[in-house]
A and B are shown apart, each in its own frame.
Chain A
C-alpha cells in the first residue's frame, strides 16, 4: 500500500500493527502453555501463564491509547479508519482470549493435586491446538489484510465446537463412572468451555479482519457450540 504523505501517520499505524502482532503472539503462547501445563500438571508453567497475562492487558491499554491518538490527530479515513477501529476491537477480544488462557492455567493446581489419572485430559490438547491456531491465523490475517485467511478461521470454529461437544459427552460419561473425580472433571469442563470460547473470540477477530480488509460485513451466523448434548 502506498505511503501516507504524512510519514508520522505511517509510523503510528506500523506501531499499532506491531503491538497487535505481539499481543496475538502472547495470547497464542498463553493458550499453548496453559494446555501444556495442564497436560504435564506443571504448576510452575501455569503460574507463568498467569503472570504473563499482565503484559497482554498492558498492550491492550497501549493500543487503546494509540488508537484514540490516531483518531484525534490524523482523522483516518476509509481503509485507515477501518484498520484502527478493527485494531481497537481486536485488542479487547484478544485480551479476553488471554483471560481464558489464564483461567485454564489457574485451574491446573486444582486438577494436579490429585494423582488419579483423568483420561479425558488427553482429549483437550488437540482441541487447544485448533483454538490456538485459529488465534494465530486470525492475527496473521490482520497483519496481511487477508480476507480469505479470515474466512478460513471462521470455518474452523465448527471444529472447536464439535470438539467441545465430544469432550462434554466424554466427561459426563467419565463422571458417572468415576464419581470421585467429579471435582476435577468439573474443572476440565470449564477448561473445555474456555477453549470453545477462545474459538468464538478468534472467529470474532476474523470477522473484524474481514471487515477491515474488504469494507463488507459478513452475514450473521450461528455462534457458539450447539447445545444438543446438554439437554
Chain B
C-alpha cells in the first residue's frame, strides 16, 4: 500500500482487499489492489472502460467464480474472514454481500415475489405475516413502497426502469446484507430515476457498506465519500471524494477527471 492508502485504511473495515490480483487466463486484469471498505461511507470506483473496476467489484462477492478462466490471488476479507477460504459458503456470502447490476433484472414474477424470494430460500421468514413485514420493510427502504403498495401482485417487469432498479435494490436488501455492490446501477435510467437511486444510496449509507462502480464522475462525486480511481488494472488513487475531485494527487487521476484522458 502507498502511504496515502494507509492513511485511508479504515478502523474495523467491513471488507479489506490486500494485494488482490485477478487473471483471465494469461491476461492480468487486476494488478495488486489493496483497499478497505467501511460502513460509514459510500465508496465509488471510477475509471475508463477496461480499467478493472467492475472486475474488482465482482471479486468482493466472488462473482468471478462463474468465469471459468478467472483466477483471483491475494486476500479479501469480510469482517476479517477470508471470503476465498474453502470453508466459505458462497451462497451465504452473496446474501451478505449483495449486488445490483447495470440493467434492472427483476425476476419475471410479482413485485411481492421478487422481494420474498431471497428471504424464503435463506429461511428468514417464519410465515406469511413475517414475510409481509419483510416485503414492506424492504420496499420502504428501497423507496418504492408508496408507488407499489397497491399492486404488489403485479409483475415486477411491468414497472418502469427506475422502479425496477429500486425493486432490485429492495430484493438485495431483503436478505439483510451487510455490503451492497452496485455495478453502474443508473446507466440505463433517466435523470429523474437516477436522482431517486442516488437519494436512496444516500439514505442507505451507514446501514450497509455500499460500493458503487460508475462511469459517471458527477455521480461518483454526488453519492460517494471515498473514491477509488482504477486505470489499466491498477488502483491509481484512493481518497476522500472531495479531495479527489478538487485536488487529485496523481497525474493520471487528474487527466481522467478533468476530461484529458486519452
Pairwise interchain contact A78-B218, C-beta atoms closer than 8 A: no
CB distance from A30 to the nearest CB of B (A): 34
B244-262 with Cβ < 8 A to chain A: 245-248, 253-255, 257-262
In angstroms, Cα B259 to Cα A185, docked, is: 56
Q: Is the CB of A82 within 8 A of B259?
A: no
Cβ contact within 8 Å between B260 and A5: yes
Residue of B nearest to A75 (CB): B218
A6, closest chain B residue (CB): B259
Choose from B217, B218, B248, B259 the contact partner of A9 (Cβ within 8 Å).
B259
Are the C-beta atoms of B246 and A82 separated by less than 8 Å? yes
Asked if B245 and A2 sit within 8 Å, CB to CB, the answer is no
Total A-B residue contacts, Cβ distance less than 8 Å: 41
Taking a contact as CB atoms under 8 Å apart, the answer to whether B257 and A3 are in contact is: no
Q: B260's contact among A2, A75, A82, A215, by CB below 8 Å, is which?
A: A2
Give the residues from 208 to 262 in chain B that come closer than 8 angstroms, CB to CB, to chain A.
217-218, 221, 245-248, 253-255, 257-262
Whether B245 pairs with A81 at a CB distance below 8 angstroms is yes
Residues in B whose Cβ lies below 8 Å from that of A79: 254, 258
Q: Chain B binding site: helix, strand, loop or mixed by DSSP?
A: helix
A4 on the B face (CB < 8 A): yes
Interface bin, chain A? 10 to 19
Q: Is the CB of B260 within 8 A of A4?
A: yes
Does A76 reach chain B (CB closer than 8 Å)?
A: yes
Cβ of A215 and Cβ of B259 under 8 Å apart? no
The interface residues of chain A lying within 8 Å CB-to-CB of B245 are: 77-78, 81
**Contact-residue bracket for chain B:** 10 to 19
| A78 close to B246 (CB less than 8 A) | yes
Q: How far is the CB of B43 from chain A (nearest CB, A)?
A: 19
- Which partner residue on chain A sits nearest B257 by CB separation? A77
Instruction: Tell me which residues across on chain B come within 8 A of A6, comparing CB atoms.
Output: 259
B258 touches A4 (CB 8 A): yes
Q: Is the CB of B254 within 8 A of A5?
A: no
Q: How far is the CA of A82 from the CA of B257 in the complex (A)?
A: 13
Q: A211: nearest residue on chain B (CB-CB)? A: B247
CB proximity to B under 8 Å, residues A70-86: 74-82
A105 vs B75: C-alpha distance when bound (angstroms): 72
Please determine whether A2 and B247 come into contact, CB atoms closer than 8 angstroms: no
Which A-chain residue is minimally distant from B253 (CB atoms)?
A78
Q: 5 interchain pairs (CB within 8 A)?
A: A9-B259, A77-B257, A78-B245, A78-B258, A82-B246
Given contacts A77-B257, A81-B245, 14 further A-B contacts (CB under 8 A): A4-B258, A4-B260, A5-B259, A5-B261, A75-B218, A77-B217, A77-B221, A77-B246, A78-B248, A78-B254, A78-B258, A81-B246, A215-B247, A216-B247
Which residues of A are in contact with B by a Cβ distance under 8 Å?
1-6, 9, 74-82, 215-216
State the B residues within 8 Å of A (CB).
217-218, 221, 245-248, 253-255, 257-262
